[in-house]
Amino acid sequence: MSSYLKKGGHEIRVFIDSAEKELADKLKAYNPEIVCFSVISGTHLWTYQKAAEVKKILPHSLILLGGPHATFFPESIANKNIDIICVGEGEEAMLELANAFPDREKIKQIANLYVKIDGQIYKNNVRSFIDNLDLFPFPDRGIYYQYPVLRDAKRKTFLTTRGCPYNCSFCFNHQFRKIYQGKGQPVRIRSADNVIAEILAVKEKYGLESVFIQDDTFILNKLWLNDFLKKYKEQVNLPFTCLVRADLTDEDVVIWLKKAGCVGVQFGIESGDEEIRNKILRKNLTDEQIIKAAGWYKQHGIKFKTYNILGLPYESLESAFKTVELNARIKADLPWASILIPYPKTDIAEMMRAQGMIPENYNINDVESSFFDKKVKTKKEEMILNLQRLFFWSVKFPLIFPLVKKIIKFPPNFIFDGLFYLGELYVYKISENVGWMTSIKMGYNFVKLNLLKSKKDL
């Protein structure tokens, strides 16, 4: 967004609230015309609070929300401190807005924007996707690298694609495609040469020891993948990690990844119960595919992190135990599990509402601020929460799992929480390739910001 706006002749600055001292004074000194928040659901209440604070500091600045929460809940425009909502991809819309400012007549007609002027809301449709991602300038990392913790990170993140073709019921992608129906292909891939050029530019300017390719499914296009990995080995030659799918994994792909320098992959299992995984979550992924893929990664020395969800609809304790057992069977290097948050407007939330599993009036303000936390109501929910807390240890040390099955009957407690945080620190350290002190600092912030804040605090 920043690089696109700067290319259009505009000035941008980023402030990270938790990293700033005297933020109010800095905002006053900068005196921006438009203040933007990128928002994910679960942090939106914090955003509304901050927007109110900014309005007091900068009463004449427009406040705009973008990101996933704004895209799926554009009704947030009703908040008295919000002036504009950006739905979907925002580069062109933001440039138009900056170019049009402060002409109200032009602003209220910009595609992708909901605009509130004198209490009246103007709702505009989304524009078509830009098919050729190579037309975008490289991300403006410099605005974030003013903060040493980001600038000095040994591993930096890159995206080679936008969009995901899959229909997992718990994810936003199926709804995102509905928003853009008839507006172009949702999955678009940058050219291999374009991605390589960005990585080399970052390496030269900021230094780089390893790469994280954060695409939803990096191995989606096999022809593109083979071309990219050959060029990556020849021109970059740094260790990297990426996200994959088990059903797209074959031994050729694993060999290509290994030769190019891949040291770790991440993929979703979600549930060890195949029926829940495919009928409820719509992963379209068999146990056999998961076991085969894990075997190839093990055989070729690539560590893997697995993503899992507990507290699923129709999940019995036995089903949850299957998730632990499948992860243990494939010897997951970094097993990770969350508690389901059924975000409103996802298919799984609508299914749960129809089945009476969540209240009819369930809405976005009811979701937990963290998918590691849950207000439990029943003994079974207590046990599932405890299992999530002990998931890492149960997978890594399967001999203790019979004991875990017994002790999860105790009420949730600080011992289980402490073991959970220790496991998370280890997973974070290894998967993010950082030192222990960085992991501990991040863990402290995680606890402070995500688990100890109630909605009342927000």
Q: When comparing pLDDT for 94 and 428, which is higher? A: 94
pLDDT tens figures, 224-261: 999 999 999 999 999 999 999 999 999 999 999 999 99
pLDDT tens figures, 108-129: 999 999 999 999 999 999 999 9
Q: Going by C-beta distance under 8 Å and a sequence separation of 6 or more, which residues neighbour residue 12?
A: 1, 2, 5, 6, 140, 143
Is the pLDDT score of 416 beyond 90?
yes
Q: Which CATH architecture has domain 153-451?
A: Alpha-Beta Barrel (3.20)
Specify the pLDDT at position 454: 38
pLDDT band with cut points at 50, 70 and 90 for residue 457: very low
Q: Going by C-beta distance under 8 Å and a sequence separation of 6 or more, which residues neighbour residue 180?
A: 88, 126, 129, 186
- On the CB side of 260, CA atoms within 13 Å amount to 23
Mean pLDDT for all residues in the chain: 92
Is the pLDDT score of 367 beyond 60?
yes
Report how far residue 181's alpha carbon sits from residue 125's, in angstroms, rounded to the nearest whole number. 11
pLDDT tens figures, 47-76: 999 999 999 999 999 999 999 999 999 999
Specify the pLDDT at position 436: 62
Specify the pLDDT at position 46: 92
Specify the pLDDT at position 91: 96
* Whole-Å CA distances, 133 to 155, 166, 335, 404, 454: 23, 20, 34, 48, 40
Q: When comparing pLDDT for 430 and 406, which is higher? A: 406
Three state DSSP letters for the chain: CHHHHHHCCCCCCCCCHHHCCCHHHHHHHHCCCEEEEECCCCCHHHHHHHHHHHHHHCCCCEEEEECHHHHHCHHHHHCCCCCEEECCCCHHHHHHHHHHCCCHHHHCCCCCEEEEECCEEEECCCCCCCCCHHHCCCCCHHHCCCCHHHHCCCEEEECCEECCCCCCCCCCHHHHHHHCCCCCCCCEECCHHHHHHHHHHHHHHHCCCEEEECCCCCCCCHHHHHHHHHHHHHHCCCCEEEECCHHHCCHHHHHHHHHHCEEEEEEEEECCCHHHHHHHCCCCCCHHHHHHHHHHHHHCCCEEEEEEEECCCCCCHHHHHHHHHHHHHCCCCEEEEEECCCCCCCHHHHHHHHCCCCCCCCCHHHCCCCCCCCCCCCHHHHHHHHHHHCHHHHHHCHHHHHHHHHHCCCCCCHHHHHHHHHHHHHHHHHHHCCCHHHHHHHHHHHHHHHHCCCCCCC
Answer whether CATH 3.40.50.280 is correct for domain 2-123. Answer: yes
* Tokens describing residue 177: 């495609």
**What residue segments make up the domains of the chain, in order of their start?**
2-123, 153-451
pLDDT band with cut points at 50, 70 and 90 for residue 455: very low
Specify the pLDDT at position 18: 87
pLDDT band with cut points at 50, 70 and 90 for residue 431: confident
Over range 333-361, report the average pLDDT: 94
pLDDT tens figures, 275-312: 999 999 999 999 999 999 999 999 999 999 999 999 99
* Tokens describing residue 449: 């910001």
Report how far residue 300's alpha carbon sits from residue 296's, in angstroms, rounded to the nearest whole number. 6
Is the pLDDT score of 446 beyond 60?
no
Instruction: State the Cα torsion 262-268-269-275 to the nearest 10°.
Output: -140
pLDDT band with cut points at 50, 70 and 90 for residue 452: very low
Is the pLDDT score of 326 beyond 50?
yes
pLDDT band with cut points at 50, 70 and 90 for residue 429: confident
